[in-house]
Amino acid sequence: MERRDKINYYLDLADVVSSRSTCLRRHYGAVIVKNDEVISTGYVGAPRGRKNCTDLNFCIRQEMNIPRGERYELCRSVHAEANAIISAEREKMIGSSMFLCGREVGSGEIINNSNSCSMCKRMIINAGIERVFVRDSRDEYREINVQEWIDNDESLNGTFGY
């Protein structure tokens, strides 16, 4: 058996973390790594103490047919990226990498061409994370230099990269 490359290893960890998600639409997992050490993990779920969509058996965004990437203020959940950032010390995140993997709940398929929402992008920038690796298939991924999000400020042109 061939040894897994390091980036896909961390993306595999993010995929496992995503299995804790409580969203009825999409499961995401995030892993923050610096110097080959896992700093933090996060998955999609309601704030601590509040009921999850899986507990309530409904998703307001799904019931309202809200498309992917829109009206996140209606969502009960905290995104995987945000939960990972909340659980880490900023000093450890400076210069780190985030690994992100998402799956469709209905099919279990990896979400191809996904990206962090505009709010999570802002948190990733402020956390000092330098690179984000996003899984597109079991072995394929994209590497995003966070500086590109700073240089190409989506809020200036109204395109939010969903």
Q: Which residues are designated catalytic?
A: 81
For residue 111, the number of C-alpha atoms closer than 13 Å in the C-beta half-sphere is 20
Q: Find all residues with CB under 8 Å of 34, minimum gap 6, and list them.
A: 92, 93, 95, 96, 97
Could you give the CA distance from residue 43 to residue 17 in angstroms, rounded to a whole number? 6
Sheet containing strand 37-43, strands side by side: 37-43, 26-34, 97-104, 131-135, 141-145
Indicate the pairing of strand 131-135 with strand 141-145.
Answer: antiparallel
Residue in this structure with the two tokens 């989506």, named with its chain if needed: 154
